[in-house]
Structures are given as structure tokens and as C-alpha cells.
Amino acid sequence: MTEQSKIEIPQASRRRFLQGAAAAGAGLVVGFHWVPRNAMAQAKAAGQPQMINAFIRIAPDNTVTVLSKHLEMGQGTYTGLATIVAEELDADWNQMRAEGAPADAKLYANLAFGIQGTGGSTAMANSWEQLRKAGATARAMLVAAAAEQWKVPAREITVSKGVVSHAASGKKASFGQLAEKAAAVTPPADVTLKDPAKFSLIGKNVARLDAKAKSTGTAQYTIDVKLPGQLTALLQRAPMFGAKVKSFDAAKAKAVPGVVDVVQISNGVAVVAKNFWSAKQGREALEIVWDDSAAEKRSTDEILAEYKELAKKPGLPARKDGDVDAAFAKAAKVIEASYDFPYLAHAPMEPLDCVVKLDPNGAEIWAGDQFQTIDQASAAHVLGLKPEQVKINTLYAGGSFGRRATTNADYIVEGVEIAKAIGGKAPVRLIWTREDDIKGGKYRPMYHHTLKAGVDDKGNIIAWQHRIVGQSIITGTPFEPVMVKDGIDATSVEGAANLPYDIPNMSVELTTTKNPVTVLWWRSVGSTHTAFATEVFLDEIAGATGQDPVALRRKLLAKHPRHLGVLNLAAEKAGWGKPLPAGKMRGVAVHESFSSYVAEVAEVSLKADGTWKVDKITAAVDCGTPINPNIIRAQVESGIGYGLSATIKPGIKLAKGGEVEQSNFHDYEVLRIHEMPKVEVHIVPSKEKPTGIGEPGTPPVAPAVANALMAGTKQVFRALPLPTDGVKSV
Amino acid sequence: MAVKFTLNGKAVSLDVDPDMPLLWAVRDEIGLTGSKFGCGAAQCGACTMHVEGQPVRACSTPLSAIEGQKVTTIEGLGGKVAQAVQAAWIKHEVAQCGYCQSGQIMSAVALLTDNKKPSDADIDEAMQGNICRCATYVRIRAAIHDAAKTVRA
């Protein structure tokens, strides 16, 4: 982390980093007509693909490739961004392609972040105006090229489904035919964007661009990269967080056939071999003595006990409305509860990996790269290079859920340090095993929440106090200056500090803890815990005051039409209030994250033996203008499955002594097909700017399920994971 | 001693450590990368291949165990069932990150080869060994039912 403080990220804005999506609109659109230098040089030659601008390349074969500044990790970004471009370009969907843009923050910064990176469900939101303009500009350049070639006025030219036409003369040309000429046209300073009423691709279910490659085993991931002479590295990291290598003996590892080198780097000892199998056996033969003097040796139970003590005292204020103490003094009833959340590993299916090749004048990296600017700067720092000397090839990522968006470029730096340690004599492919992944930290932090509500004699909530205790994701990272303000890490309190409910006296407090266990954002970040604590607590209040959970929310959300919209839609579609057969129960939760609004109703069936199953989730979402409804539905299904996994499966535990107890999918269990409920997704029609959908489906599922169980059993559920047996119906 | 087997219809002879898992032999030595490494412990199914038509977790199958046998990977899939499954996968847009889908498809093809009309319970049983962290399970189920219809037609 000390190294990291040397990596500076450009200060884009003081606005909240992750929630900056909404701020990414007017005034921030950068020079999309710039073209990457080397791409421009390549494109000069006739008969070559032509860069029309930084985002659009048109080839003589008439394919249009969108250079995606965002990582495709499953969320449909390539398809979504290509849709925005194709719409304004009036392209035919079949001619569209997408690929990862090079690392170049000047051209490809996430406008919500100020650096190149993907996260916070910002891809569509921050690219919306930028790529509409890029598409419209490219269209104007193609039209200008045709006008010049045909000697006709540009205003008489039409473009439809990838064909440029002039009706009066009967002339027609494809984009591919005009590309070379169009690339030489001076881009117009201003373009008119399409009237949304005329959209023919946005809002329709255009086919995912990656469906075929991902159904035939041909999609290229980092683990599939094979460069001439490439070696494979596995790294032995410390068994406890904060421990370091004291000494090691490489003799036995080096004796394993295929092992080429054993090298020490910052994070441990790496075995570099001709193939994975040799590297793995070599690593098993390593003998390392660890210095654990600074390591975390407490168990997670002990850490939680510390958190519970801390929650007895006030934290730093994250929100203060009205006079909470006075309101509690007046309350007819006070309700209190506390909620616990474990550490969670992201466990994407493709374990972390990168390929690093060093050259005399630079370095080249292949990765499912999620934070290009940080990874580029960090790699350059290790190698003593300028960032622009590090080329990053962003490939498909086999999932991430936040794990590849590392604030300290952890796995990239490891790969670069190993390549450097072997003197750059061969390209190195670093692979984490599943055990490395599960034990390797960067977890969703553990949290303890306490909530206290004061209710008047009419059942109105007049006071609300919420205390959150846990580690900060951001403190000590390059994001700290932007995202930590007055000691409050925005990601620790999001979803709680901006609780929409109409409660006049509200206090949200944060106590940030510190320990060597490394933590990171996990799909939907703060909302992974704040949505559960607030939504389950609200149902506890509803129960204690005899109010219907949906009716209570409607009352408290009167001033929040978009929350109300999804709540009402989900309730209606789920048949809220209709009688249920014996043993079946319903629960609801509504939550906004990343400026998208989601309500979910869970239908749960409880068996006589005390086990239960989620039968169905009915979701309603409002993510602004829907760009691709089918992908939105897919993302909500996915978010629900991901969230449900953490609802019913245990998290990461540290044993006494500080070692992680779990190691692979047999003891860090994840949701499997027989546990997946039916999912129904309803999309609120909207003309608002599009917001994200990769994450917002996740937060409501756990509280909706807990609330269903609470409704059907009168038991309380105050920790995740929920108990999967021993639940008794009333 | 070289291990000899048939891979996607072609005779293969590999002179490597016979304990090397089939997955890594196929990926690192032969260079077919459609089958994925997810856990190395037969827990997730991303590496699923067919050995003599049966789905096998290649990450935990030593090369020596497949001497003389017929191995099929996603690259070697063919025939009516495989075509129906892959077409259904594309139509339903099952894949998100896509990393587990080679394994999912191999398990689904094996299921539909044996059972042309699987129930939801049959699908649960056959597909339970294949993890998808994107939780594309709803669409996997729909695609299998759809492919089954094509296979029966």
C-alpha cells in the first residue's frame, strides 16, 4: 500500500466516484475525434481498416468495430456500447463488432471516474452522450465523403442500415467503401443527435455480440493467451494477512521437471515453469518461512466481537437530519436490532490472471483489465517506465464482480514483478488457482450494523439511528482524496446515508476499523450490506407496528417517484396481498444503487423440516432509457443469483491464528442451478438517461428473502447468510 | 512413456508427466483452450470434456487414466444434439462472462444425448456440478428445454 500512494490518479471531480454516473453528462464529453496515434498510422494505408474516431473503426469488409473503453466481463457492455454507436451511425446491427480499447486515459477515461476503468455500473451512463456523438459524427463524416465523391449536396444523402444513398442519382455505397475517404474528413464541430422516438436499435433486443464465441469455446480470455516462449507462474502468498516471507528454500521446487525459475517478489515467492502443472508441483515443493509479526492473527469471531463493542459508541456522522435524541425521547416505542455481514470472496469463474511481456523499451500486458489507468501506472512504476510505455490488451474477463477493479493493481503488479525478476527473458502468464482466489483477500468487508428507530403512537417513524462498523475499501488507495471525505468512506455508507425514507430525524454514523485483511468492492459495494440492514429493519418496524411492508414503504417514499414506481410495479406483478398457500411466504425490498432503482418480491416456501427454498423473485427495475431490455433482464437475473448465493452460503472465515478457513468451492460454496429461483423482470419505461444495471439487481434479494421468512415465521433474521434450516413456520 | 488417446477424432500421443491433468495437457500441450480451469478440484465443471461420451472433470483426471480412450472437447463437438444445444445457447443468450459455458454446454450435450426429454429435476441433477457465477441458470434451463425440443423434432 505504501507503493500505491505514489500512484496518482487524475483529479476529475470531487463528486462521489462511484455514484458519479449521473454527473457524467453535460460538459464532460472529451475529444472523441482524437484517434490513437498508432492506430492512425496503421489506418493511413489504403485498403486497411480506418479509424473514423477514437471509438469507431470501419474496415473494407464493411464491419464497424467499436473500441470499448469498458471491460466486457459478462454484463453486456460491448453490445450496449456498440448499440449506442450503431444507432447514431444508422448502421446495420449485423456489421457491428466490439473490442477492448487500448489503455489511454486521455481518450478512454470513464467520465464518471476521470480515469479509464469499469465499475459502479457506469458504462452506459458515462458513455451515453459521448458515444452518441461519436456515432453521429462518424455518420456525418461518411455522408460528407459520399457527397464529395458523388458531387451532390450532403443534405440530400440518407443513411439506413449501413447503406449511404442519394435518391436522386440512385447512388449507393457501404460504410466500408466510404471509410477511407471519411477518415480524412474534418469532423464536424457539432452534430445533431437522433430524436429518441426514431431509435431503431436502442430499446430493442439486438443480439449480444459475444453470444456465438461464448457458446463455441472460441472467446479469448487471458488464461488462453499463449505467446512464443511463454512461461507460467504461480505465486505462493502468505497464509495470513500481513505476513511476509522471512526465508525460503527453492531447491526442491527447482528439482521439479519443467520449473525454470523461483523468484521472490513483494507478495511472496513465485515458481515459473514451462506449464501450469510444473508450476503447481513446483509451488507445492517450496519451503517458505513466514514472518507473521505484523499479521492479523484474530479469528473473524474475535474481529466481530471488536466491532460489536465499537458499535456501542457513536461513529463519525455520515448524515444528520433533525434532532434524533429529542425524537427518541418523545417516541412511543423504540425498536432496536443489529445485523452482521461476513467477509465475501468474489470468486469469478476465471481466477485472476495476466500475461506480461517485457521489451527493451516497454511492456505489454494482456488481462481482463478493469482499471487500465491504475494498472498501467502501477506496472510502469515497477518497471521504471512512463505509463504510455505500458501497452494493455484488454480481453474478455471470465467474471469479476469487482475483483479485477483493484485499487492497487495487485495481480498485475505481481505479474510484472515476476517478469522483471526473471529479467524479462520470457513472457510470463501468472495464474491464481482457486485456492489463491478464495484465500487471497480483497474481500467484501465484514460489517456490523446497529439500528434504532423511534415510532410515535400512530406508527410513524420519527427517529432513525444507524451505526455501521467495518473496514474502509478506499482509505490508503489512490481513490482516497476523491472518495473519503471527513473520515467517511462513501462506499461504506452508500445505501444508508442516502436512505430515501421520509423520516424527519435521522442519524447515520460510521466507525471505520483497520486490520490487515485486504478488502475491495463486491458487486453493488456498500449496498451489499446497507440494503439488507435498512430493508430488514424496516420490516421489523412494520411488524412491530402492525403495518403492511409495502404500504409502509409507499407512505415513506411519497416524495421519491422512481422508488415508488418500481415498488408498485413489483408488488403488482408479484400479486402482493393475494393469499398464499400454506408454507409459502412473500417479502419485499426496494433499493436504489448507482442511480438505478430496483424492487424485488421474494416468494419462499418453507418445508416442515425447517428447510426452505426461494421459488421466485419478481423484480421491477428503473435504469432510465433501456438500451437492451434482454440484457437488462439478464443482468437482473444474474444480480439476483449472485446476491442469493451470499444470502444462503457462508462467507469467508478466519480461524484463530488468522488463516482463512475456506479454500475452494467445496467449502466456499456458491449458488448452483437447483437453488436458482424463477426470476421475472419488469422494466419501467423511461426517457431518463440510462443508468447501470450490472449491480443494482443484487442488493434487494437478500432482504426480500429475509423479509419473506420473517413474515412467515415471526422469527428475526439479523445476519447473512440466513440459516438454511431450523426455520419454523408459525 | 507417452500416453495415447483420441482427441476430437484425431490420434494424439503425449510424452509428458502421466499425472498431468487432462485439462492442462489439452490446454498447455495441445493448445486447445475452449475447456477452462475454474477450480482444479472437480467442483465447478468449467473443464468438462467427454471421455467415451461421458462428461468428465478434466482438471482432476490424470492423463494416464484416458490411455486409449476417446476424448471430446467443445472444439470437437458435432452432431444433432450439440448443434441444438449451441443454437439454443445463442438464441437464449445464455452466456454472460461466458467462462463456464464450454463446461455447461458439454454437460448439457451429455444430458440430452441420454435423455431427450429432461424434466427440471433431471436438469438440476445433470447440471448441478457446473457452477456459473453470473448465475445464468434460468437461461441454461430454458436453453436445455428448447434444445430438447429440437432434438426430438
Residue ranges in B10-79 assigned as alpha helix (H):
22-24
Query: What pLDDT is recorded for position B71?
Result: 98
Q: CB distance A665–B100 less than 8 Å?
A: no
**A702 CB within 8 Å of a chain B CB:** no
Judge: A212–B17 Cβ closer than 8 Å, yes or no.
no
Whether pLDDT at A30 is above 60: no
Say which amino acid occupies A375.
Answer: D
B137/A676 CB distance under 8 A: yes
Torsion of CA A444, A450, A453, A454, to 10 degrees: -160
Q: Do A398 and B36 touch (CB under 8 A)?
A: yes
pLDDT per residue as tens digits for the range A594-615? 999 999 999 999 999 999 999 9
| Facing residue for A671 by CB, picked from B31, B96, B135 | B135
Distance from CA of B153 to the nearest CA of A (A): 22
pLDDT at B18 over 90: yes
Q: Given CB atoms, is A375 within the 8 Å cutoff of chain B? A: no
What is residue A46's predicted lDDT score, i.e. its pLDDT?
65
Cβ contacts of B98 on chain A, cutoff 8 Å: 74, 210, 213-215, 219, 396, 398
CA distance A471 to A169: 69
Rg (Cα) of chain B, in Å, rounded?
15
B139 touches chain A (CB under 8 A): yes
Give the three cell numbers for residue A717. Answer: 433474521
Label residue B1 by pLDDT band (50, 70, 90).
Answer: confident
Q: Tell whether A399 lies on the interface with B, counting CB pairs under 8 A.
A: yes
The answer to whether residue B83 neighbours chain A at the CB level (below 8 Å) is no
A184 touches chain B (CB under 8 A): no
Mean pLDDT rounded to a whole number for chain B? 98
CB contact under 8 Å between A673 and B97, yes or no, is no
Three-class secondary structure of residue A298 per DSSP? coil
A645 touching chain B per CB within 8 A = yes
> A560: exposed, middle or buried (C-beta count within 10 Å: 0-12, 13-18, 19+)?
middle
Q: How far is B98 from chain A (nearest CA, A)?
A: 5
The reply to whether A268 touches chain B by the CB within 8 Å rule is no
pLDDT digits 0-9 by tens, A484-512:
999 999 999 999 999 999 999 999 999 99
* Interface check A217 vs B, CB under 8 A: yes
Q: How far is A728 from chain B (nearest CA, A)?
A: 26
User: pLDDT per residue over A446-460, tens digit each?
Assistant: 999 999 999 999 999
Whose cell is 447515520? That residue is A508
What is the count of residue pairs from A and B with beta carbons less than 8 Å apart? 173
In a mutational test of the B interface, the residue from A209, A215, A403 whose CB has the highest number of chain B CBs within 10 Å is A215
Indicate the average pLDDT of chain A. 94
CA distance B69 to chain A (A): 22
Of the candidates B39, B124, B134, the beta carbon closest to that of A664 is on B39
Amino acid A44: pLDDT: 53
Is B21's Cβ below 8 Å from some Cβ in A? yes
Contact A664 B41 (CB under 8 A): yes
CA-CA-CA-CA torsion sign (A116, A122, A124, A125): negative
User: What would the pLDDT profile of A36-95 be if each residue is shown by its tens digit?
Assistant: 444 444 445 568 999 999 999 999 999 999 999 999 999 999 999 999 999 999 999 999
Task: Report helix, strand or coil for A604.
Answer: strand
Residue of B3, B90, B92, B93 to mutate, testing the A interface (most A Cβ within 10 Å of its Cβ): B93
Q: Inspect the interface and report whether the beta carbons of B128 and A673 lie closer than 8 Å.
A: yes
Task: Measure the CA–CA gap between A679 and A636, rounded to whole angstroms.
Answer: 9
Taking the Cβ of residue A629 and every Cβ of chain B, the question of whether any pair is shorter than 8 Å is answered with no
Mean pLDDT of A538-563: 98
CB within 8 Å: A215 and B133: no
Among the partner residues A215, A223, A679, nearest to B90 by beta-carbon distance = A215
Question: Smallest CA–CA separation between B14 and chain A, in Å?
Answer: 14
Query: Residue A642 and residue B133: Cβ atoms within 8 Å?
Result: yes
Break chain B down into helix, strand, coil percent, rounded to 5. 45, 15, 40
Residue A395's contacts (CB-CB under 8 Å, 6 or more residues apart) are: A100, A220, A221, A222, A225, A366, A367, A368, A369
Give the mean pLDDT of A101-125: 96
Nearest-by-Cβ selection for B97 from A398, A640, A641? A398
Task: Supply A202's cell numbers.
Answer: 436502442
Cα A637 to Cα A617: distance, rounded to the nearest angstrom: 9
Residue type, A166: H
CB contact under 8 A, A216 and B93: no
- The amino acid sitting at A177 is Q
Residue among B34, B124, B130 whose CB faces A218 most closely: B34
Side-chain-facing half-sphere of A678: CA atoms under 13 Å: 9
Would you call B99 and A349 a contact, using CB atoms and an 8 Å cutoff?
yes
**Unique residue bearing C-alpha cell 422469527:** A715
3-state secondary structure of A348: coil
Asked if pLDDT for residue A31 goes beyond 80, the answer is no
Give mean pLDDT, residues A522-533. Answer: 98
B136 touches chain A (CB under 8 A): yes
Inform me whether the C-beta atom of residue B122 falls under 8 Å from chain A C-beta atoms. no
Assess B93–A contact: CB distance below 8 Å, yes or no: yes
The overall pTM is greater than 0.90: yes
pLDDT at A16: 35
- Tens-place pLDDT, residues A648-698: 999 999 999 999 999 999 999 999 999 999 999 999 999 999 999 999 999
Residue A729: what pLDDT?
A: 75
Q: Please state, for a pLDDT cut of 90, what percent of chain A lies above it.
A: 93
Q: Is the pLDDT of residue A246 over 90?
A: yes
Q: What is the pLDDT of residues A378-421, one digit of tens each?
A: 999 999 999 999 999 999 999 999 999 999 999 999 999 999 99
Chain B residues with beta carbon closer than 8 angstroms to that of A217 = 33-35, 73-75, 102
Contacts of A277 in chain B (CB under 8 A): 16-17, 20-21, 24, 28
Separation CA A597–CA A615 (nearest Å): 23
- DSSP class of residue A597 equals E
A7 falls in which pLDDT band (50, 70, 90)? low
Q: Return the pLDDT at A480.
A: 94
Asked whether the beta carbons of residue B97 and residue A226 sit closer than 8 angstroms, the reply is no
d(CA A61, CA A67): 17
Q: CB–CB of A215 and B105 under 8 A?
A: yes
pLDDT in tens, A324-378: 999 999 999 999 999 999 999 999 999 999 999 999 999 999 999 999 999 999 9
Local confidence band at A18 (pLDDT 50, 70, 90 cut-offs): very low
- Supply B11's cell numbers: 490420434
Residue among B28, B44, B95 whose CB faces A275 most closely = B28
Chain B contact for A248, CB < 8 A? no
B106 touching A (Cβ < 8 Å): no
- Please name the residues in contact with A313: beta carbons below 8 A apart, sequence gap of 6 or more: A511
B49 interfacial to chain A (CB closer than 8 Å)? no
Res A373: pLDDT: 97
